[in-house]
Amino acid sequence: MSLTVLSDDDIRNILESLTSSETEDLADSMRSALREYSTGTQNIDAGLVHQPDRTIVHSEATNATTLFMPSINADGHAVKVVTLSGGNAAPGQPALKPTGSVTVFSPQGTPTGFLHAKTLTAFRTALASSCLLTKRQHVKTLTVFGSGLQAYWHVRLALMLRGDKVKQVYVINRQFSDSARTILQKFYAVPMATREREGWADTRFSVMTPSYGEYERLTKEYIRAADVIYCCTPSHEPLFDPAILTNTNGRRKGRLIVAIGSYKPEMREIPREVLEQAIRGTHGTGHIHLHKHATEGGVIVVDTLDGAMKEAGEIIEAGIQPNQMVELGELVMIRKAAEEDDSSIASVSSPVSTLSSTADISSDLDKLDITSSGSAMSSVYGRNSNETGSTSNMDRGSSGEGGGGNAGGLGSSSPKRSSSFTSLFSKQHKRTSSQGSNKQQQQQSQNNPPDHLARWLTSGNVIYKSVGLGLMDLVVGNEIIRLAKEKGVGHHIENFS
């Protein structure tokens, strides 16, 4: 067995040259891993998917904090090691830029890869976010906060996957920096042949910082215009005035908001009011209210419930509960169910059309066993989605970037979801659980109101909060090693065992 050693330049060159099919293969691998994570099969005894706690070591002498983040799946295991500045730097002590590596092992423990973590981390985070992007009906305007690698790769993957639909990219940076100056150069450095193949040769880009005279006015304009908002900054306060999105004008269209920059309880990017609006989709009677021009409420999606409850500052501050969120892997489960049904093949041929019709989602939800004690779906909805206080199964290793085990108190019971998403999910599942024929189900779908869950996922308000999973590094690391061997990139040490 060989050991593949890849520098950051090697990894960047591989990822920048991805073909459409290679990008889709990577996305499929990520979706499969997230689905496995959210089915609750991450049991170390079964040898499937496991996300242990991360270990943190801090040096008072250097103020360096080192994080050790392991993960395992059926293809092997990996350990990501990252060193960065701690929180108690002495005056004048230089800050440490995050640096690290990912070591990948075979299922038998033989090292198979040693990869620089910088670009890999940014790419794998954006790849997970793209699972929601591919379903969006409108992606004409992208607004991104930040100009670092995370910002770049979120936009770059959007262009790879939906480039023919993206017409304008606004970059908003809180200060003028080297990254703000060079981020546009990175996009224009992409060969014209690649831009034409991906469909964004005529896409317009702009960068704005507070030094610009009309910063406040244009920030409001760019946020309102956005179909997708990427928040990619390590901010300790919300990035924008909540009224921009919560007042009447702000609610005239749905948006996908992706927040990946804040990763500690004291950090936050999205205003609390925007999160609260997302879970305010039902009245006390359970009546779903839709504004004439906009969908009230929305869906809050996270990569890991346990990690979000412990590390996502926005979620913690707003008091969002586990029963008001859904894991990204749970949504992937719906798509997977559709792909396994021969009768649904035509309906899922386009990623944008997935979950786009009432009949499709009704069929998919009917296949999900949300009552299984081994499913994360049961831990979120409870064993019976129509009963309060039902027993849940949160006996899952967890967490953000390898963060800690079960969040306190989550393993005992899970109340009935009070969010609009839960109400709709329960109604859809209940409505299609009858034993009627397909014709009867289709007739029933026609007699019911439009499917609001599908509407939200494709064109409504969707907030995705990611704190990261070591499992993402393992999955993408293995795929990059495979591509490196195919393309002859990096150093390959044969018979390394």
DSSP string, 216-281: HHHHHHHHHH-SEEEE-S--SS-SS-THHHHSTTTTSS--EEEE-S--STT---S-HHHHHHHT--
pLDDT at 175: 82
pLDDT at 37: 86
Q: Which two tokens mark 83?
A: 């060193």
**Residue 355 contacts residue 454 (beta carbons within 8 Å):** yes
pLDDT at 391: 28
Query: 229-244 pLDDT, tens per residue?
Result: 999 998 999 999 999 9
**Residue 212 contacts residue 126 (beta carbons within 8 Å):** no
**Residue 306 contacts residue 396 (beta carbons within 8 Å):** yes
**Residue 464 contacts residue 258 (beta carbons within 8 Å):** yes
Beta-carbon contacts of residue 191 (< 8 Å; ≥ 6 apart): none
pLDDT at 331: 83
pLDDT at 495: 81
pLDDT at 85: 78
pLDDT at 202: 97
> How many residues comprise the chain?
497
pLDDT at 332: 79
Output the CA–CA distances (angstroms, integers) from residue 279 to 166, 315, 418, in the order listed: 28, 12, 8
Q: Taking the complete model, does pTM exceed 0.75, yes or no? A: yes
pLDDT at 186: 95
pLDDT at 40: 65
* Residues facing residue 69 across a β-bridge: 80
List, for the chain, all residue ranges whose pLDDT scores fall below the cut of 50: 44, 282-295, 342-450
